[in-house]
Amino acid sequence: MSTETPSNLIKHAGQTSIPSLENITDFSLNITDCNQVVVPEEVFFTVAAAGILENLLVLVAVIRNKNLHLPMYFFICSLAISDMLGSLYKTLENIFIILCKMGYLTRRGDFEKKLDDAMDSMFILSLLGSIFSLLAIAADRYITIFYALRYHNIMTLQRALVILAIIWTFCAGSSIAIALFSHEVATVIPFTILFPLMMFFILCLYIHMFLLARSHAKKIASLPTSAVHQRTNMKGAITLTIFLGVFLCCWAPFVLHILLARFCPHNPYCACYMSIFHVNGTLIMCNAIIDPMIFAFRSPELRSTFKKMFCCARYNRNW
Amino acid sequence: MSALRLISNRTSQQALSNSDYTWEYEYYEYGPVSFEGLKAHKYSIVIGFWVGLAVFVIFMFFVLTLLTKTGAPHQENTESSEKRFRMNSFVADFGRPLESERVFSRQIAEESRSLFHFCINEVEHLDKAQQSQKGPDLESNIHIQEVSRSSGTLEEDLNCLTKFNIPNFVNTERNSSLGEDDLLISEPPRVLESKMAMQSSHRILD
């Protein structure tokens, strides 16, 4: 996806060829109406690097600590991997653009086109992986609550790994198919329908869990603690809202961008929305940073593993 | 996206004055987008989208808190009688006398701590809370946390639960070997399961 700022490239290209100045002036009036909103490359790379590092930490911690070899943590790892892929994609894309600007890569070569296709499919893989990982985490929690005593038999480690393998195979296949056939209208529609469907399903799972928690709280709450009771149920509502709100706010802008680019590229309103594409991309990378905080770092075991890792590193450095 | 690139490639083939230019203008190759005669603000989709998203998230939050409020806690009198009723039903289910509410609430605390891998963060607070017969989940935050206690403490309290293999991830080796046997024995689980489920759900969401 070469989404370079036209203004930069106009300057770059303007130096090389004069007859096309008319093109510049023709478009300049329209372009200045809704300029591409530029996110500085430093911000891009910082956010992307932070996302990659954080998720890598989560992966390393889960791999190193045997206590964390559980289905629940494997699903969290899957989410971390998909977040990492998203940030990696953005980093590679920026590097790609920089190399193009410096002239090391041509814009129309076959290799670059294939690279671009590969990166697009990596991005779609990341999105689909995120959605399905969130679904798996919600389903895992659902089974933990509603089938508590049989949880160990329902969700064995092997089954969790099989589920993850199926999810990732499906995501990889779909992403390659979508990237290859992206010019067909038919691919965009299922892609954008999948997104709200999954969100709705996850929301239903969590609401059902929430209702059960509420009915349980009703049974054992006592008056002196009624204020506390309200507060803790409020916390449940806040937690759920954060889970789903973060995902929605980070991914929905981009999905809308895809829809608009497909269906109304000529409309000035749509064009103005599409001009904030870089901000949408940065939001996706912010999602990669926030997800470990609301899923992985809530676990004290994982946090203690981090502390051990850093303390050991410090200890080794001292000696 | 490659979608945009392919579209722009097709349209740009007609305008081949300078191939370098047509590539860069890929967003603007869709024909001149005229910004004249706009009835609404040009960023109206952006603003409308974000406002709609914020409204949706806030709406979702209010729906969830409304669900909370409709489950308001009972009065103290009914509360203690409810607890006794619950304890009695618990006794009836397992056919084992429970000495006091304190034991019962302590068992609940033990169960919740040792049986679920979604546990409350402040387990110590829960112990104290249990003494004052508060719900074990009232001061909890939702933290995904392994069980730190083994199911051994539970075995001491409830004979029926000695063989249950509820998620206890600290001692996974020990428990996994008991996996199959546990559930053959566990036929009180129906009632127990619903109680366990309620506690764990409350922990997850708090």
**ipTM for the assembly:** 0.73
Question: Smallest Cβ distance to A228: which of B6, B34, B139?
Answer: B139
Judged by a CB distance cut-off of 8 A, whether residue A118 touches chain B is: no
- Report the 3 state secondary structure along A197-228: HHHHHHHHHHHHHHHHHHHHHHHHCCHHHHHH
Least confident of A90-104, A218-232, A267-281, B146-160: B146-160
Pairwise pLDDT comparison (A47 vs B82), residue with the higher score: A47
Spatial CB neighbours of A42, under 8 Å, sequence gap ≥ 6 = none
Residue A159 pLDDT class (50, 70, 90 cuts): very high
Least confident of A284-288, A298-302, A303-307, B178-182: B178-182
Q: Do A1 and B2 make contact, defined as CB atoms within 8 angstroms?
A: yes
Average pLDDT over residues A198-218: 80
Which pLDDT value is given to residue A28?
44
Task: Give me B112's structure tokens.
Answer: 């919740």
CA distance B191 to A273: 55
CA distance A283 to B50: 13
pLDDT in tens, B43-98: 888 888 899 989 988 888 888 777 767 654 443 344 444 444 444 444 444 444 43
CA distance A85 to A51: 10
Q: Which helix (H) or strand (E) holds B143?
A: strand B142-144
Contact B26, A2 (CB under 8 A): yes
Half-sphere exposure at residue B95, Cβ-oriented, CA atoms within 13 angstroms = 3
Which chain B residues touch A139 with a CB distance below 8 Å? Answer: none
CA distance B206 to B200: 10
What percent of chain B stands above pLDDT 90? 2
Task: Give me A37's structure tokens.
Answer: 């909103």
Least confident of A246-250, B35-39, B145-149: B145-149
Count the Cβ atoms, other than its own, within 10 Å of residue A27.
18
Residue B197 pLDDT class (50, 70, 90 cuts): low
| C-alpha B76, offset from chain centre | 28
Question: Smallest Cβ distance to A148: which of B69, B136, B196?
Answer: B196
Which pLDDT value is given to residue A230?
59
CA distance A49 to chain B (A): 22
Half-sphere exposure at residue B178, Cβ-oriented, CA atoms within 13 angstroms = 18
The residue whose two tokens read 């509603």 is A146
Which chain A residues touch B33 with a CB distance below 8 Å? Answer: 30, 266-268, 271
Contact B24, A4 (CB under 8 A): yes
Mean residue pLDDT across chain A: 78
Q: Do A6 and B202 make contact, defined as CB atoms within 8 angstroms?
A: no
Residue A158 pLDDT class (50, 70, 90 cuts): very high
Give burial (CB, 10 Å; 0-12/13-18/19+) of B204: buried
Which pLDDT value is given to residue B103?
46
What percent of chain A stands above pLDDT 70? 82
CA distance B187 to B159: 13
Which chain A residues touch B60 with a CB distance below 8 Å? Answer: 203, 240-241, 244-245
Q: Do B30 and A265 make contact, defined as CB atoms within 8 angstroms?
A: yes
Closest residue of chain B to A185, computed from CA coordinates = B3
CA distance A229 to B134: 9
- Residue A117 identity (one-letter amino acid): D
CA distance B30 to chain A (A): 6
> Read out DSSP for chain A?
-----HHHHHHHHHTT-STTHHHHHHHHHHHHHTPPPPPPHHHHHHHHHHHHHHHHHHHHHHHH-GGG-SHHHHHHHHHHHHHHHHHHHHHHHHHHHHHHHHTSS-SS-HHHHHHHHHHHHHHHHHHHHHHHHHHHHHHHHHHHHHTGGGHHHHS-HHHHHHHHHHHHHHHHHHHHHHHHTTTSHHHHHHHHHHHHHHHHHHHHHHHHHHHHHHHHHHHH--GGGHHHHHHHHHHHHHHHHHHHHHHHHHHHHHHHHHHHHHH-TT-HHHHHHHTTHHHHHHHHHHHHHHHIIIIITT-HHHHHHHHHHHHHHHHHHH-
Q: Which candidate, A185, A191, A184, A171, places its Cα nearest to that of A256? A: A191
Which pLDDT value is given to residue A75?
92
Angle value at C-alpha A113, between A110 and A116, nearest 5 degrees:
150
Closest residue of chain A to B71, computed from CA coordinates = A218
Question: Smallest Cβ distance to A222: which of B76, B86, B205?
Answer: B76
CA distance A30 to A28: 5
- Bridge partners, B143 (sequence order): B119
Predicted TM-score (pTM) of the model is 0.63
CA distance A211 to chain B (A): 7
Contact B151, B201 (CB under 8 A): no
